Structure 1
Amino acid sequence: MQIIENQFLKATINPLGAELVSLFNKENNTEYIWNADPAFWGKSSPVLFPIIGALKNNQYFYQGKTYTLPRHGFARERVFSVESQTESSIIFLLKQDEESLKVYPFDFEFRLIYTLLEKTLSVSYSVKNTGNNEMYFSVGGHPAFAVPLSENSVYDDYYLEFNQTEDFPRWELADGGLIKKEATAFIENTNRLPLTKELFYQDALVFKHLQSTSVVLKADNSEAKLTFDFQGFPFLGIWAAKNANFVCMEPWCGIADSEIHEQDFTKKEGIEIIQPDQIFLRTWSVSV
Structure 2
Amino acid sequence: MEYEIKNQFLTVKINSRGAELTSVRSVNSDTEFLWQADPQIWNRHAPVLFPIVGRLKNDTYQYQGKSYQLSQHGFARDKEFTLLKQENDAISLVLRDDADSLKEYPFHFELVITYRLLNNLLTEQLSVRNPANEAMYFSIGCHPGFNIPVNNQLKKSNYYLQMLPSKDHIRIPISKETGLHDWAKRTIAATDTPIELNDELFKNDALVFELKEATKLSLRSEKTSYHINVTTENNPFIGVWSQYPQTANYVCIEPWWGLCDDVNADGDISKKRGIIKLAPNEEWSGKITIALHD
Query: Do 1:106 and 1:135's aligned partners in 2 also have CA atoms closer than 8 Å?
Result: yes
Equivalent residues of 2:56, 2:72 under 8 A apart: yes
What CA distance in whole angstroms lies between the structure 1 residues aligned with 2:194 and 2:76?
33
Shift of 1:29: 2.1
- 1:164, 1:191 within 8 Å by CA — same for their partners in 2? no
Aligned equivalent of 2:44 = 43
| Consecutive unaligned residues in structure 2, runs of 5 or more | none
| 1:132 alignment partner AA | N
Aligned residue for 1:31, secondary structure, equals coil
CA RMSD, 1 decimal: 1.5
| 2:155 corresponding residue in structure 1 | 154
Alpha-carbon deviations, 1:176-202, whole Å to 9, x = none? 201023335464262421111110122
Query: Is the CA contact 1:148–1:158 (under 8 Å) kept in the aligned structure 2?
Result: no
Distance 1:218 1:28 in 2: 18
Report if aligned partners of 1:36, 1:43 keep a CA contact under 8 Å in 2: yes
Aligned to 1:229: 231
1:21-54 Cα deviation digits (max 9, x unpaired)? 1111112221110011011100010100000001
Question: CA–CA distance in 1 between the matches of 2:33 and 2:152?
Answer: 13
Using the alignment, how far apart are the partners of 1:264 and 1:189 within structure 2?
A: 33
- Residue aligning to 2:220: 218
Q: Distance in 2 between matches of 1:106 and 1:191?
A: 43
- C-alpha distance in 2 between matches for 1:198 and 1:20: 27
Distance 1:158 1:240 in 2: 14
Say if 2:163 and 2:191, in contact at 8 Å, map to a contact too.
no
Q: How many correspondences in the alignment?
A: 288
TM-score by length of 2: 0.94
Which residue is equivalent to 1:85? 86
2:253 corresponds to:
249
How do residues 20-39 of structure 1 correspond to structure 2 at under 5 angstroms? Answer: 20-39=21-40
What pairs up with 1:262-281 in 2 under 5 angstroms?
262-281=266-285
Structure 1 residue 121 displacement after superposition:
0.4
Cα deviation, residue 210, structure 1: 4.8
Q: Is the 8 A contact 1:139 1:253 kept in 2?
A: yes
Give the 5 Å matches for 1:1-288: 1-148=2-149, 152-174=153-175, 175-185=177-187, 187-188=189-190, 190-211=192-213, 213-242=215-244, 243-288=247-292
Separation in 1, partners of 2:32, 2:121: 14
Q: Specify the code of the residue in structure 2 equivalent to 1:209.
A: L
Give the share of equivalent positions with the same residue, in percent: 38
Q: d(CA) in 2 for partners of 1:56 and 1:39?
A: 27
Cα deviation per residue 1:252-283 (whole Å; 9 max; x = unaligned)? Answer: 00000000111110000010111111110100
Take 1:46 and 1:234, find their aligned partners in 2: how far apart are those partners? 19
Cα distance in 2 for residues equivalent to 1:180 and 1:200:
17
Counterparts of 1:162 and 1:177, CA distance in 2: 24
**Which amino acid in structure 2 is aligned with residue 156 of structure 1?**
S
Unpaired segments ≥5 residues, structure 1:
none
Partner secondary structure for residue 100 of structure 1: helix
Match for 1:206: what amino acid? V
| CA shift for structure 1 position 142 | 0.5
SS of 1:177's equivalent in the other structure is: coil
SS, match of residue 288 in structure 2: strand
TM superposition score normalised by structure 1: 0.96
Alpha-carbon distance in structure 2 between the residues aligned to 1:184 and 1:277: 36
